[in-house]
Amino acid sequence: MAQPLMPKATAVWLVDNTALTFDQIADFCGLHNLEVQAIADGEVAPGMQGLDPTANGQLEKEEIARCEADPVGRMEMAKPTVPLPKVRQKGARYTPISKRQDRPDAIAWLLRSYPELSDAQISRLIGTTKPTINAIRDKTHRNSATIKPQSPVYLGLCAAPDLEKMITISRARAGTTHTPTQPLPPIAATEPANEQAPMPPQPKPAPEAAPTAEEVFGASTAPADKEEEPQIKSEDVFGPASDS
């Protein structure tokens, strides 16, 4: 249910000028019945100027009289007689004058980051024209030398949900999907780049046999069969012994 403008001020006027119950006033103004009772006791909104809902066309006097006669009845808002403002038609988004100089940077960023966006979508996002988009794409814009691509969300030219919605629509039309990047492995599992991986353990060589004496001192030079030298007898030197 729609609520009146300045509900507390409206409740102050209804308490002071009508015989409506607290529940009826609370229901019409969107307040709690205890709050309306506090307004009547002067504990809430003391000294507040009441607002007449019948003067601004929010409530009819006949409606007040009907509910005063029926304590169970509930008042309804009057239909507005003042024409409501028309809903803005679809078209290029309005860009404040202070931010219009940032539009070329935002267009260049969108053309580079999301080439699947159409010129009409970029125009609705940023509030620009197709000739400007084509000039930035062809690098024939008068500020091409000073253009620095920046996100339109960062520049405040559009909201992030609107940009994501446009990207989703353009990718659905093109039949492409965004592939998320693979998550990085945990830090504990990665190895530092400047350290080499440990070498695998090498098998131990078999123990060598102890060297023999011939390998250490060489082979013996003594002849295998040594000839016996003849023994010299005393008879051969002094002659045979004579018998005395």
Residue 158 pLDDT: 85
- Residues 65, 103, single domain; the answer is no
Q: Is 204 part of a structural domain of the chain? A: no
Does 233 map to a domain?
no
Tokens 């070498």 belong to 199
101 and 169 co-located in one domain: yes
Q: State how far the Cα of 44 lies from the Cα of 37, in Å rounded to an integer.
A: 9
**119 located within any domain:** yes
* Cα radius of gyration rounded to whole Å, the chain: 54
Look at residues 174, 190, 225 and tell me which one is the last residue of a structural domain. Answer: 174
The answer on pLDDT for 51 being more than 60 is yes
Out of 122, 152, 174, a domain closes at: 174
Query: Would 185 be classed as within a structural domain?
Result: no
State whether 47 and 103 are in the same domain. no
Is 113 part of any domain?
A: yes
Work out the average pLDDT over 8-31: 91
pLDDT band at 227 (very low <50, low <70, confident <90, very high): low
Residue 220 DSSP one-character state = -
Answer yes or no: do 109 and 56 share one domain. Answer: no
pLDDT (mean) for 12-32: 91
- Is residue 46 a part of any domain in this protein? yes
pLDDT for position 24: 92
pLDDT band at 216 (very low <50, low <70, confident <90, very high): low
Report which of 66, 78, 64, 73 is spatially closest to residue 15, judged by C-alpha positions. Answer: 64
Flag whether pLDDT at 200 surpasses 70: no
- Count of the separate structural domains present in the chain: 2
What's the pLDDT band for 13 if we cut at 50, 70, 90? Answer: very high
Highest mean pLDDT pick, 118-122, 175-179, 207-211: 118-122
- Residues 158 and 103 both lie in one domain: yes
pTM over 0.75: no
Burial track 25-56 (b if 16+ CB lie within 10 A, e otherwise): bbbbbebeeebbbbbbeeebbeeeebbebeee
Residue 194 CB coordination number (10 Å): 5
Of residues 133 and 241, the one with the higher pLDDT is 133
Sign, Cα dihedral of 52, 56, 61, 66: negative
pLDDT for res 91: 53
Residues 219-230, mean pLDDT to the nearest whole number: 52
Residues 101 and 162 in one domain: yes
The average pLDDT across 83-110 equals 73
- The last residue of one of the domains, among 16, 49, 69, is 69
Mean pLDDT (whole number) for 144-159: 87
Domain-located, residue 205: no
Q: What percent of the chain has pLDDT over 90?
A: 15
Q: Are 122 and 133 in contact (CB under 8 A)?
A: yes
Q: What is the residue-averaged pLDDT of the chain?
A: 76
Instruction: Establish if 78 belongs to a structural domain.
Output: no
More confident call, 214 vs 184 = 214
Which residue range(s) make up the domain with 111? 97-174
Positive or negative, the CA dihedral 214, 215, 217, 219 is positive
d(CA 73, CA 52): 20
